Amino acid sequence: MPEGPSIVLAKEVLTPRIKNKIIQKATGNAKIEMPLLQKKKVTEIKSWGKHLLICLPACTIKIHFLMFGSYSIDEQIRPDSRVRLRLEFAKHKVYFYTCSVRLLTTPLDELYDWESDVMNDSWNARKARHKLKDIPDDLVCDALLNQDIFAGVGNIIKNEVLYRIRLHPETQIKNIPSKKLSELVLEARNYSFDFLEWKREFTLKKHWLAHTKKTCLRCNLPLIKKYCGKTHRRTFFCSNCQIKYST
């Protein structure tokens, strides 16, 4: 569930079912003021990076699925005690499990920079480049996971993007040639949309080239699995095909 494209998919599925519909009842073990949701109309469903945003007239329900979160529609797939949030509408019921639920009262445009969400129409590649310039010493594997720069990019996308553009995950941002940096920013978004389509067709895993793979399909050498950078996230790469630029 977690990475940006999965959230976009959830938004697509939920919108026709609950947009402009009234929440008849809100329950669950989420530590939020449930009564605030009662009888409120869902005006919009948005996403920013890995955040799913269910907008009501006076507040927004922010859902973050973390690592294991899930949701279901019209069918409760876990016991009542595990339901974090249940939204009941006239025709549909939506269930959220194992996720973080918060209520936002600040206008979203003040909280979120839509230009930093790789899935958003307003995605601003130039801005991302500038932000990268501000963290010259960071490794690219960490930079890709930085939600202030690439909101929505997760560990799978990170690994696949770096493999695609043949860039070593432990390359420092300042050493990446300008052209390669452009490629990085471009592919962070491109791959995310490929991810979305594959996820939609339930064929995402089949398309992984590096993530969880043992062998480089380009040169046939074993892929390295290493917990890279300050994020210490699982990183799969080919030390032969992926160039590590240095000073």
Partner DNA sequence: TGCCATGTTAAACT
Partner DNA sequence: GAGTTTAACATGGC
Q: Which residues bind DNA (CB under 7 A)?
A: 1-3, 6, 49-50, 64, 66-68, 70, 78, 82, 84, 97-98, 100, 145, 147, 154-156, 211-212, 230, 233-234
Q: How far is the CB of 145 from DNA (least distance, A)?
A: 6
Nearest residue (CB) to DNA, 78 versus 133: 78
CB atoms within 10 A of CB 99: 21
The minimum distance between CB 78 and DNA, in angstroms, equals 6
Of 6 and 120, the one with the shorter C-beta distance to DNA is 6
CA distances in angstroms from 144 to 54, 155, 161, 189, listed in the order given: 26, 9, 9, 11
At closest approach, how far in Å is the CB of 98 from DNA?
4
User: What residues have CB less than 8 Å from 105, skipping those under 6 apart?
Assistant: 58, 59, 60
The nearest distance, CB 59 to DNA, in angstroms, is: 18
Nearer to DNA, 100 or 240 (CB): 100
Q: Closer to DNA at the Cβ: 23 or 69?
A: 69
DSSP state of 212: T
**Angle formed at CA 16 by CA 4 and CA 24, multiple of 5 degrees:** 105
Q: Is 100 exposed, middle or buried (0-12, 13-18, 19+ CB in 10 A)?
A: middle
Cβ proximity to DNA: between 76 and 212 the closer is 212
CB of 39 to DNA, least distance (A): 27
Residues 49, 52, 55, CA angle at the centre, nearest 5°? 125
